[in-house]
Amino acid sequence: MSERTVDVVVFDIGGVLLDWSPTYLYADLIPDEEARTHFLTKVATPAWNHQQDEGRPWAEAVAELTSLHPEHAEWIEAYDTGWLRMVKGVFEDTAAVLAELQRAGVPTYALTNFSAEKWQVAKEAFPVLTHFDGEVVSGVEQTVKPDEKMYRILIERFGLDPARTFYTDDMAYNVDGARAVGLDAEVFTGAANLRTQLRDRGIALQ
């Protein structure tokens, strides 16, 4: 086994531990694909949702968007009230890696772009999210990855050595942001590859 080069493992959440997509909800609410695509790209856009990740309250977001698109009021409200239906579930193979790290005594943390309100909903629905040694959530901090502030909050709050902290994220630009502050980071492409990346750093799991 390789010499161990990391002491801590940090996980992104959406796309790594949780299988999240608005399509899971809106495939039922808007069966017509063209209408659904229009709504999710022109009305309730990723940029609009991102503002909630930055800390905007959901009630404010829904009210503002509804005032602009009153004809879609019901669908807009569903983005808030039906949020949990956007999560198909936990990626169990990634959850297994997380559990094995925790059993081995490796400290684990969450670093995620996530609405503060929905983070609480998610933790109640998916207990795997409650077992980290610590968490940095964008909606709470009111700053988002890949802003340098997010990574520095993680490092400073938990007293981490960036060079010995491994971070996995499914978005390459977030990995680039992590590397820019000295974290050892790799793009997440699946649990099997994550195991290989950890083994290469001296953490061999079952």
pLDDT tens for each residue of 24-36: 999 999 999 999 9
Q: Where are the alpha helices (DSSP H) in the chain?
A: 22-29, 33-38, 46-53, 58-68, 73-81, 92-103, 116-125, 138-141, 148-158, 172-180, 191-200
Q: What pLDDT sits at residue 1?
A: 58
Q: Give the mean pLDDT of 151-162.
A: 98
Q: Architecture of 8-17+91-200 per CATH?
A: 3-Layer(aba) Sandwich (3.40)
Residue with tokens 């699946």: 190
pTM of this structure:
0.95
Break the chain into its structural domains and give their ranges.
8-17+91-200, 21-86
Q: What pLDDT sits at residue 92?
A: 98
Helices and strands per DSSP (H, E), number in the chain = 11, 7
Residue with tokens 């010995």: 164
Percent of the chain with pLDDT over 70: 100
For residue range 65-74, list pLDDT tens digits in order: 999 999 999 9
For residue range 110-146, list pLDDT tens digits in order: 999 999 999 999 999 999 999 999 999 999 999 999 9
